[in-house]
Amino acid sequence: MGLMTGKRGVIFGVANDMSIAWGIAQQLKEQGAEMAFTYLNEALEKRVRPLAESLGSTVILPCDVARDEDIEEVFAELGKRWGKIDFVVHAVAFANREDLKNPFSQTSRAGFQLALDISAYSLVAMTRSAMPILNKGGSVLTLSYLGAERVVPSYNVMGVAKAALEASVRYLAAELGEQGIRVNAISAGPIRTLAASGIANFKSKLKLMDDFAPLRRTVTQDEVGKSAVYFLSDLASGVTGEIHYVDGGFNIIVGAG
C-alpha cells in the first residue's frame, strides 16, 4: 500500500521531463496515485502525452488556465470519468520575458495583469471548479518561490504574482477548511526548468544556493515531489494554509535573496 493508493487527482503544469510537476507526478505514482494530466497547447501535448502514458495515465486534457471554460471542462470531464477526485496540483506560471529583465518599475499594465492572471488567479479559478468534485479530505497544492516574500533580483512581477498566489492559498484554505479540503503551497528553491530559463541570471541563483543554503545546494524536482506527497496524502491531514519551503533551508539565511 502506498501513501496515495486509492487517490485520484489532476496535475496542471507538466511541460517536459524537467518540470517540477513531472517530479511531483513521479513521486505520486510511486505512492500509488492515479492521475490525469493537462497540457497548454498542441506543441506541449507531444511532450506531455508520452510522459503521462508512461505513468499509466489515460486522461490527458488540454487546458489554457487563462480560460475559465478550459478549466471548467477539465473538471467536468474528471467528474464524468471518476465521479470524485482527491487532489489538484497547480504548477503553472507565466510572465513576459521582458518583464523579468527590465527594471520592475517598467512593468506594463498588460504584463502585470498577464502574470497575475496565469500565475495567481488560475489557482482561484481551478479550486472553484474542483470544489464540487473534491472529496472530503481532498488537497490542493501550488508552487511558489521566495521572491513572493523578499526581493529577488530579476524575479520582478513574478514575485508580486507569487505574493498574490500565497495570499490566495491562505484565503482558499480558510474557506475550504469547513469542507475538509486543504490548500497549501510549496516554495521551492531554484531548479533548471523551462520556466526558469526566462529568469535573467538564473545561474547566479543556483550559485547562491551552493554557497549559502544550509544544505549547500539547490533542491531537485524529486525532492519537491516527496514533499508534495506529504501535502497530498493523509500525512498532512491537519495541515492547511501553509507555505512550506523546500529550498535546502536557503530562506533562513540572513540576506537570502
Catalytic sites, residue numbers: 145, 155
Phi, psi dihedrals of residue 214, rounded to the nearest 5°: -50, -35
Candidates 195, 208, 209, 236; binder of ligand NAD (CB under 6 A) is 195
121 touches ligand NAD (CB under 6 A): no
For ligand NAD, which is the closer residue by CB, 85 or 141? 141
Strands (E), the chain: 8-12, 34-39, 60-62, 85-90, 134-144, 182-188, 243-246
Choices 24-32, 171-179, 183-191, 227-235; region in contact with ligand NAD by CB under 6 A: 183-191
For ligand NAD, which is the closer residue by CB, 148 or 236? 148
91 touches ligand NAD (CB under 6 A): yes
**DSSP output for 199-237:** STTHHHHHHHHHHHSTTSS---HHHHHHHHHHHHSGGGT
Candidates 4, 11, 20, 95; binder of ligand NAD (CB under 6 A) is 20
- Check if the beta carbon of residue 164 is closer than 8 Å to that of residue 120: yes
43 touches ligand NAD (CB under 6 A): no
Binding site for ligand NAD (CB under 6 A): 13-15, 19-21, 40, 44, 63-66, 91-94, 118, 143-145, 188, 190-191, 193-196
